[in-house]
């Protein structure tokens, strides 16, 4: 199974333990950071994990911070992600069986390595029951998609004006195409890997753009154009 895992500085040590445990079970593991005990902000890494999970429906995510709550709040901001705080076995099983959670958040100050491994086992080994729960999950994802579309419509004009205001007059930058139907989310990694400095990123209407992607665009001098 493809597992995306991340942590802040408080969850770093437990993350290292879980990574080794997952590799021992022959899972494919991608470490989204952080890579040290140096203080950092959990949203940066929770968003990275969530964005990768959203981009790969065959994957599951694990995010570790102090309590597991803040990262859950962050991850659930990303369209397509159903994150749950999983510090207890019953809740973890329920999150998968009834809620089809695809990302678990663990609190390193709440559970130790032994329980954390059991929680991971339950999360990865439990299947979604379907049935009556499908209707409820559809409502959650449907609301999230509508909110994302509304957010895009509100911020698109503002972003265009800001980026146009700081662009160099007369400049004719190259265009990075994000209008391909296969692109379902513009993430920080997408901008980093696909947009050259000073280019223009054309975003197809309805395609969600994360806040980290916009930060990366500004850092690279990329103009974001919403169709």
Please list the active-site residues.
98
HEC profile of the chain: CEEEEEECHHHHHHHHHHHHHHHHCCCEEEECCCCCCCCCCHHHHHHHHHHHHHHCCCEEEEEEECCCHHHHHHHCCCCCCCEEECCCHHHHHHHHHCCCCCEEEEECCCCCHHHHHHHHHHHHHCCCCCCHHHHHHHHHHHHHHHHHHHHHHHHHHHHHHHHHHHCCCCCCCCEEEECCCCCCCECHHHHHHHCCCCCEEEECCCCCECHHHHHHHHHHCCEEEEC
């Amino acid at each position: 199974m493809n597992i995306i895992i991340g942590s802040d500085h408080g969850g770093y040590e437990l993350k290292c333990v879980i990574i080794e445990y997952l590799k021992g079970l022959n899972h494919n593991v991608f470490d989204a950071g952080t890579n040290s005990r140096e203080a950092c902000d959990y949203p940066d890494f929770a968003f990275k994990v969530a964005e990768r999970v959203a981009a790969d429906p065959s994957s599951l995510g694990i995010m570790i911070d102090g309590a597991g709550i803040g990262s859950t709040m962050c991850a659930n901001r990303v369209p397509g992600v159903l994150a749950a705080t999983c510090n207890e076995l019953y809740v973890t099983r329920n999150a998968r069986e009834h809620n089809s959670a695809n990302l678990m958040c663990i609190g390193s100050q709440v559970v130790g390595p032994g329980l954390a491994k059991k929680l991971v086992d339950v999360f990865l080994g439990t299947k979604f029951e379907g049935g009556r729960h499908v209707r409820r999950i559809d409502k959650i994802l449907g609301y999230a998609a509508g909110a994302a579309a509304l957010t895009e419509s509100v911020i698109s004009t503002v972003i265009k004006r800001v980026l146009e205001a700081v662009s160099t007059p007369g400049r004719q930058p190259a265009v990075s195409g994000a209008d391909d139907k296969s692109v379902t989310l513009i993430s920080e990694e997408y901008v980093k890997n696909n947009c050259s400095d000073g280019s223009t990123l054309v975003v197809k209407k309805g395609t969600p753009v994360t806040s980290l992607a916009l930060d990366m665009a500004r850092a690279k001098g990329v103009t974001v154009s919403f169709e």
